[in-house]
Amino acid sequence: MADAIAVPQVRSTQSGLQLLRLIPGVLLLAAVGYAGKLLEQNVGAYARAHHWTFPNIEYVLWAIVLGLVISNTVGVPEIFRAGVATYEFWLKAGIVLLGARFLLGDVLRLGGVSLALVAIELAVAITFMTFLGRAFGLRPKLTSLLAVGSAVCGVSAIIATQGAIEADDEDSSFAIAAILALGALSLFTFPLIGHALHLSDHAYGLWAGLAVDNTAEATAAGALYSDAAGKLAVLAKTTRNAMIGFVVLAYAIYWASQGQAKTVKNKAAFLWQKFPKFVLGFLLISVLATYAFFNKEQITALANLSRWAFLLTFAGVGLRTNFREMRKQGLRPFAVGAIGEVVIAVVTLGLVAGAGKLFGF
C-alpha cells in the first residue's frame, strides 16, 4: 500500500521537474521566433524609409535563419535543448488549430486530390529510394529508413519504422541526418523554384506538401511562399502523414518475413498506434468550424494562435539544424537522399502540374 501512495508522488514530482526543464528552451524558441517577427516588420520598414530595394523577408525565414546562426556558431547550450525539442509539439498543436481555417468541403475536395497524388508519390518514392539504396550499396535497413523518411514524413516516420523493423540506432541516425539536411536545403530551394516557375499558391502549396519530407520544413517551405500556399502545404503534408501507419506496417511485415523483425500480431492496433492523432484533431476542428461552432472573430483568433505555434516551430527548425553534426554522418546516405529528393521533387511537380490542368488551379 505504501508503494501505491509513494509511486504517484514520485511520478508527479518527476513530471513537474521535466516540465521545468523545458522552460528555458521554450523561452528561447519564443525569443528567436519573436525576433524574426520584429525583423520582418522593422527591416522592411527601414528599407522603405531609406528608399532601398530590399526583398520582403517573412518572419518564417528570419526565425529559421536566426536559429541556424545560433545553432551553427555558438551552439545551443544543454539547458535549452529539452525545450527546443518541443518544436514538434508546437507544430502539431498549430496544425490542429489551423483546421479552423478549412471548411470540411475544402478538406475533402483538396484532401481527395492530395490523397491521389500522395498514393503515386509514395509508390514512386519507395521504389526509387530502394533502387538507389541498393545501387549505392547502403545497408538494407538504412535503405528502408531513407525510403520511408523521404516517402512519408521525415523524422517521425523514420523513428516509427526503426522500432517496427528493429533497425540499428546508427542506421536511424544516418537516415535522420540525411532527411534533416535535405529538409533544410528545401527551405531555400523550393520557394526559389516556385517563384521561378510562377507557380500559383495552390500548386506550390501542394508541391511543397508532397515533396518536402519533414512536416516542420514542409509547413515552413509553404509559409515562405505565401499564407495560402502554407495552408495547402499543411493539408497535403497532413494527408501524407496519415499514411504513415500503412507504410510502416508494410515494412514491418516485409522485415518479419525476412526473419529480421518481430511479427505484427494485431494489425489494427499497430495502425492506430502509428496513426498521427493530430490529423484527427485537425479534422475535428475543421468540422466544428464548418458547422459554425466558432464565429468569424473566433476563427481569426484560432488562426492567430496557430501562427504563434508555428512561430515557435520555425525557430526550432533553425535551432536544431547543425550542419557540422550532419556532416559527421557520412556522405553516402546524404547522396542517396539528395538524388532521391530531386527525382521525387520533379515527379511531384509533374503530378501537381497535371492535377492543376485537371482541376483548374
Partner 1 sequence: MSTDEKTVAVAKRRGLSLDGWAVLLAFLAALLVRAGIFRHVPW
CB of 334 to partner 1, least distance (A): 27
Cβ–Cβ < 8 Å for 351, 115: no
* Residue bearing cell 536566426: 66
Separation in Å, CA 310 to CA 59, 63, 116, 125, 195: 11, 10, 27, 28, 23
* Residue bearing cell 520582418: 40
| Cβ closest to partner 1, residue 88 vs residue 171 | 88
| Cβ closest to partner 1, residue 8 vs residue 360 | 8
Cβ–Cβ < 8 Å for 229, 168: no
Cβ–Cβ < 8 Å for 126, 157: no
* Three cell numbers written together for 155: 523524422
Residues 308, 327: Cα–Cα separation, whole Å: 32
* Residue bearing cell 508541391: 207
175 binds partner 1 (CB under 8 A): no
Among 269, 280, 342, 346, binds partner 1 (CB under 8 A): 280
Residues 75, 322: Cα–Cα separation, whole Å: 8
| Cβ closest to partner 1, residue 32 vs residue 96 | 96
109 binds partner 1 (CB under 8 A): no
Task: Note the Cα 241 to chain centre separation in Å.
Answer: 9
- Site residues for partner 1, 284-313, by CB under 8 A, read 284-285, 288, 293-294, 297-298, 300-302, 304-305, 307-308
Among 29, 67, 87, 88, binds partner 1 (CB under 8 A): 88
CB of 269 to partner 1, least distance (A): 13
Tell me 1's DSSP state. Answer: -
| Cβ closest to partner 1, residue 44 vs residue 281 | 281
CB of 349 to partner 1, least distance (A): 30
| Cβ closest to partner 1, residue 275 vs residue 361 | 275
167 binds partner 1 (CB under 8 A): no
277 binds partner 1 (CB under 8 A): yes
| Cβ closest to partner 1, residue 78 vs residue 297 | 297
From 2-10, 16-24, 128-136, 341-349, span contacting partner 1 (CB under 8 A): 2-10
Residues 47, 59: Cα–Cα separation, whole Å: 16
| Cβ closest to partner 1, residue 287 vs residue 335 | 287
Residues 158, 152: Cα–Cα separation, whole Å: 9
Cβ–Cβ < 8 Å for 98, 304: no
Q: What is the DSSP string of 234-247?
A: HHHHHHHHTTHHHH
From 74-82, 171-179, 200-208, 280-288, span contacting partner 1 (CB under 8 A): 280-288
The residues that touch partner 1, with contacts defined as CB under 8 A, are 3, 7, 10-11, 88-94, 96-97, 100, 276-278, 280-281, 284-285, 288, 293-294, 297-298, 300-302, 304-305, 307-308
